[in-house]
Amino acid sequence: MRSRTDTDDAVQDVLVRSMKHLRHLECRDCGALLAYLPRAVINRVVDEIRRYRREHEVIPLTGVAGRQLVRRSNGSSGEKAANYRAALMRSGVRDRRTIVLRVHLGLTYQDIAVRLHMPSPDAARVASMRALTRLAGVMTD
């Protein structure tokens, strides 16, 4: 679930599916449906997490505050992925952290500025652009 819209869609899907099977639900007391629906939503979220893990490769990185870098499996070749990982690992610690926070974790420039003790979101934006430019340069060499 990446956004509120995704979450809303999942809840709506659970409700629609539940209503289709409502006649099969055993209601032993008046709270049965109220107990069933949250559990159904939780099950849907767990299913989405499992689906995400199956479709994405997790690449552990050392030196990035114990975080794991997640790369979308977009059909790129293993060679390109290996080249990217190698270039990222050759990057300076600050560049690597900036790239991971922005590209892989999707943090805002404000959040990056706070986490990396930068003076402003603009400083984080400039640092992100420069880090990505340097990474691209290393990858094309």
Are residues 99 and 117 both part of a single domain? Answer: yes
pTM assigned to the model:
0.46
Give the confidence band of 63 by pLDDT, cuts at 50, 70, 90.
very low
> d(Cα 135, Cα 88) in Å, to the nearest integer?
7
> d(Cα 78, Cα 61) in Å, to the nearest integer?
17
> d(Cα 77, Cα 73) in Å, to the nearest integer?
10
Are residues 95 and 27 both part of a single domain? Answer: no
Give the domain extent around 99.
Answer: 61-140
Give the confidence band of 51 by pLDDT, cuts at 50, 70, 90.
confident
Are residues 72 and 118 both part of a single domain? Answer: yes
> How many structural domains is the chain composed of?
2
Residue 71, pLDDT score: 44
List the Cα angle 102/71/50 in 5-degree steps.
Answer: 115
Are residues 47 and 94 both part of a single domain? Answer: no
CATH of the domain at 125: 1.10.10.10
Are residues 72 and 117 both part of a single domain? Answer: yes
pLDDT digits (tens, 9 = 90+) for 100-120: 888 888 888 999 999 999 999
56-60 vs 68-72, strand pairing mode:
antiparallel
pLDDT(6) > 90? no
Are residues 131 and 103 both part of a single domain? Answer: yes
Residue 56, pLDDT score: 63
